[in-house]
Structure 1
Amino acid sequence: MHNAVLLNMIQHFGYLALFFALWLGIVGMPIPDEVIVMTAGLVTALGLLNPILAFLLTYLGVVSGLSVGYLLGNQLGAPVIDRLVRKKKTGKYLRQAQAMLNKFGHYALPISYFLPMVRHLVPYLVGISKMPYRNYVAYAYSTGFVWTLIYFIVGRIFGNHIDQIAQMVTRYGFFALAILCVSGFIVWRGVCNGTTDNTSY
């Protein structure tokens, strides 16, 4: 369902739909980030958008959206958390985000990218803790590139199963992501081997 809504947005607004759908994630866009990035991969596989431009706009949407959270936390401080706690279901994920920061320190930022919901809360917390912006960029932008690339490729390969994959990732986190990466690698090797066999004749 999410996939169909996003495809309709892309048909009307093209690349900008990918950017703003991810950028608005920080204020509660109802479409999961994973679905948006995978759909970006899908539409490039279908030839609807240029792969490089689609990836760049998707990546910029991811990192700029999360950077808004960092800046709000850095400038507004604790009142941001008070506002988040009032939202339904946010308290649970906020506790997870805080526990990750207590356990892993700055490394919680790259780890959080792979955990839905927590991904949006950790930037607020590191902003409140006054992490220097250059450190935030080093952790968040590099990890954001890898995260975006993984789901973009998954969307190109498994585009017909985006909603199901998003549900798996939400429920099983890292384990589902690991399975996806292994499956994608197997498919990629199969395609490469098939291409090699065809060119050998």
Structure 2
Amino acid sequence: MELQDLLGFIEQYGYFALFFSLWLGIIGMPLPDEMIVMSGGFLSSLEKMVVWKSFLLTYLGVISGLSLGYFLGKIFGHRVLDKLIKKNKAKYLVKSKELLNKYGRFALVLSYFIPIVRHILPYLVGMNNMPFKTYALFSYTTGFVWTLMYFTLGLLFGSQMEVISMLATKYGIYFGIISVIISSFYYFYIRKLKK
């Protein structure tokens, strides 16, 4: 699916297209989640969608998809991992395990900025019986910040979303850190100008 197809799909089916595109991301949509989230922001900037509705359905899609991964890991355990290995995701599985072993529950925070790992880690913490309250606290909070960041990038720089998405996919965590710094600077700079 190309960017124009995605934008057309979201325009045609509205807010729920954002939700389902992200909810189904856990099983491997052909586009990066970052691009889908930015699309919601971009279409909102063109006034084709209401900003708060678009953001809310986008955020719910992100956390619902990752929560689905948590519950699949909890219910099906190693059978899910076997499927991931068969889908040539073994190196991401190893990276996810390393992240979890090194950072514990804080790996949920870091994983949002590492494509594919963000989808595998919920399976692992579900399998390892992390309490859902703990999972939700770390994942939903970070998911809100992550969604807000990419949604805002779509609002402000939507015409460049393919480039931004490529950089986010390629450089993951570094891109996340840089984006937070730039977005914060931009936000505070604009606030200062308005005063």
Structure 2: distance between partners of 1:58 and 1:26: 14
Counterpart position of 1:117: 116
Q: TM-score, normalised by structure 2?
A: 0.94
Superposition pairs for residues 1-201 of structure 1, below 5 Å?
Answer: 2-88=2-88, 90-192=89-191, 194-196=193-195
Distance in 1 separating the partners of 2:171 and 2:80: 28
| Structure 1 position 191, deviation (Å) | 4.1
Moved more, 175-184 or 79-88: 175-184
C-alpha distance in structure 2 between counterparts of 1:146 and 1:189, whole Å:
17
Distance 2:178 2:63 in 1: 25
Matched residues in 1 for 2:171 and 2:121: separation?
19
State the identity %: 46
Unaligned runs of 5+ in 2: none
Deviation at 1:83, TM superposition (A): 1.1
Offset of 1:133 from its aligned partner? Answer: 1.2
Structure 1: runs of 5 or more not aligned: 197-201
Residue 199 of structure 1 is matched in structure 2 by: none
From the CA coordinates, give the structure whose radius of gyration is larger.
Answer: 1
Q: Are 1:169 and 1:176, in contact at CA under 8 Å, matched by a contact in 2?
A: yes
CA change 1:132–1:53 in 2 (3 A) is same
**Whole-Å Cα distance in 1 between the matches of residues 174 and 3 of structure 2?**
23
- For 1:95-133, what per-residue CA distance to the aligned partner results, in whole angstroms no more than 9, with x for missing partners? 100000111111111211111110000000001001111
> Does the Cα contact within 8 Å between 2:149 and 2:183 map onto a contact in 1?
no
Shift of 1:10: 1.2
Return the letter of the residue paired with 1:120. H
**Residue type at the aligned position of 2:176:** L
Deviation at 1:134, TM superposition (A): 1.3
The normalised TM-score by structure 1 is 0.91
Task: Return the offset for 1:6.
Answer: 1.4
Instruction: Please provide the CA RMSD for this pair.
Output: 1.5
Q: How many residues are paired up? A: 195
Query: Which runs of 4 or more aligned residues in structure 1 lie more than 2 Å from their structure 2 counterparts after TM superposition?
Result: 177-196
Contact persistence 1:77–1:128 (CA under 8 A):
yes
Q: Which amino acid aligns with 2:39?
A: T
